Chain A
Amino acid sequence: MGDVKLAMIVQKPQYKGETSRLAITHAISYQTVEILLEDGDTVTPKLCFVGEGVLGIQKGQNAMELYGITSTESHMKNTLLVDLDVLVCKEDLDRYGIPEDAMPDADEMGADKKIQVVPYAEIQKAMEEAKHVLFF
């Protein structure tokens, strides 16, 4: 069957419900899915943030200190470490007044991958190219 592309779309803000965090951890699990698949089969998610989903991914989070849980920022760094494509809707960042440089990176952990701030049209394209679309 080869590669199956997924578009995982996060449309809810983090730190109230669990769904938006689960989107990130489910996407990261693409790295270990091969143990359950035939040789040559892969799953390739694109993790996309739209609407209110862009609100909770900014740098400087203190979830561990304040609530004893892993921050969304930390999860985002892990997505970059495992080379996931992460797309964030530029129009929605602009709508909420969030600058692009507020997006976290994982440079200090040695990740080459960066969060990509893209027009919504790119996220629509990711949905069209994917076999399955998953809204979180």
Chain B
Amino acid sequence: MKLGVFVSDFKLTVDTLERLTAEKLGLILVQNGVYHATTKENGKSSPLLEKTTNLYALSEDIQIRGLKVADVDKRVKVVNYSDVVDLIFNDYDKIAWL
């Protein structure tokens, strides 16, 4: 399956995500999930960024937190709501919210 997962928390969803597998897995970082893309813990990037190469972070949710697009890990593509709609309809056949 092609599964797009909205990750809306920094910590709480990792347990569920660790086990999820998909032929194509996309992680769309929204709300506090954007910290996975911008924050290093003890100098290390979030292990979530190793889970797939299809990584996105919502621009509005980065900026509302006073973070900058320049802070976003280079593996993560910054998208807006319109892009998210296209991801939902064009890139993934199932979507989930964690």
Contact = CB atoms under 8 A, between A and B. Distances in A.
| Direct A–B touching, Cβ under 8 Å | yes
B41 to A, nearest CB: 22
B96 A130 contact: no
Interface stretch (B14-22, B29-37, B65-73): B14-22
Contact of B96 (A50, A51, A134): A134
A120 B21 CA distance: 11
B22 to A, nearest CB: 8
A120 B16 CA distance: 11
B97 A135 contact: yes
A127 B16 contact: no
A51 B94 contact: no
Nearest to B21: A124
B64 interface: no
A26 interface: no
A4 B19 CA distance: 25
Contact of A133 (B3, B15, B21): B3
Contacts of B1: 127-128
Contacts, number: 27
Interface in A5-62: 9, 11, 50-51
B88 interface: no
A134 B98 CA distance: 10
B16 A133 contact: no
B98 A135 contact: yes
A51 B15 CA distance: 8
A82 B96 CA distance: 26
A135 B3 contact: no
Given A50-B19, A135-B98, 9 more contacts: A11-B98, A50-B16, A120-B19, A124-B20, A133-B94, A133-B95, A134-B96, A135-B96, A135-B97
Interface of B: 1, 3, 15-16, 19-21, 94-98
Interface of A: 9, 11, 50-51, 120, 124, 127-128, 130-135
The 6 closest A-B pairs by CB, nearest first: A135-B96, A133-B94, A128-B1, A133-B96, A11-B16, A51-B15
